[in-house]
Amino acid sequence: MRWLIVIIGTYVALEYFPYFDETHYVFKRLISASIIVLITWGLWNLSSGTSEVFKKINEYSDNKIDEILVPFLTKVLRFVIVAISISIIAQVFGYDVNGFVAGLGLGGLAFALAAQEVIKNLFGGVVIITEKPFTLGDWIMTPSVEGTVEDITFRSTAIRTFADSVVIIPNATLSNEPITNWSKMGKRQISYDLKISSHTPKEKLEHSIKQIRSYVENHPDIHPETIFVNFTRYETDSLNVMLYFFTKTTDWGDFLSIQEEINFKILEILSKENIKVAVPAQSLRVEEEGLVKRNPLKVKRVPSNKGEN
């Protein structure tokens, strides 16, 4: 608005200036172009990702705009705004834009052939945005990288790894890879095998399994839907007890604390029952059947260059 007042004030002032021809076509075109640039500037700011426009649309509309879509829409809108503004300014100064647009059709084929990878990445970005396998801030894992999604552009997606480095992956590569979105977990799995000494009596083993199962089922942080604590199989040097259940929380730190608490409780139960955890080991038995006679090594002398035998 300030610059609009400056442009209008300049135009009005020059109309009353006696030594300037305000009717000159260059001056009028400059004023028109200035107003177009001013409008473009305003639309550019309105299409910003931090603009109130997108916030108001999300507040008053049932169709919420996903966070990952806002940066993409911003770039598309700004490109369209600048392209239209340049074409209008060119028409104001008398240039024929129709011929330029027609020429784009001929050059488009050559451009497409020269920029195949760029176009692949562009369509890969469209696939990611439309299918929404993840959004900004999600923790994802692919065969290429694992980390938190920071940004998505026309060409690539930026992922910050847990080593605090940023990995840029082309959208064409990312859209063709299997993506695991850990942020979409409703619960987190705990699953492992507890190996009990094979010398453990049946009664003690059965009683300890019941205690462990009861503790897990009544734990406030364990999801009650799926809980398995069972004696599954015999192994060479142990009895295998499978534990399989889920925590209600998906937070990594809370998950580790709950897992540690359960492990300590299991050790306590086994200790009370005087049950030992099996440790994989190998024993080597050597039987001496007799002495081995050593024969002297026979060495054959090879004649040297001096003719020695």
pLDDT tens digit sequence for 198-233: 888 999 999 999 999 999 999 999 998 889 999 999
pLDDT, position 66? 56
User: Which neighbouring-strand residues pair with 158?
Assistant: 151, 168
Full DSSP string of 49-89: TTSHHHHHHHHH-SSPPPTTHHHHHHHHHHHHHHHHHHHHH
Q: Name which residue leads in pLDDT, 129 or 42.
A: 42
pLDDT, position 98? 67
- Dump pLDDT digits (tens) for 243-260: 999 999 888 889 999 999
- Dump pLDDT digits (tens) for 102-147: 655 555 555 555 556 767 777 777 777 777 788 888 888 988 889 9
pLDDT, position 231? 93
CA pair distance 284, 287, nearest whole angstrom = 10
> What average pLDDT does the segment 61-76 reach?
62
User: CA angle, 152 as apex, 49 and 54 as ends, to 5°?
Assistant: 20
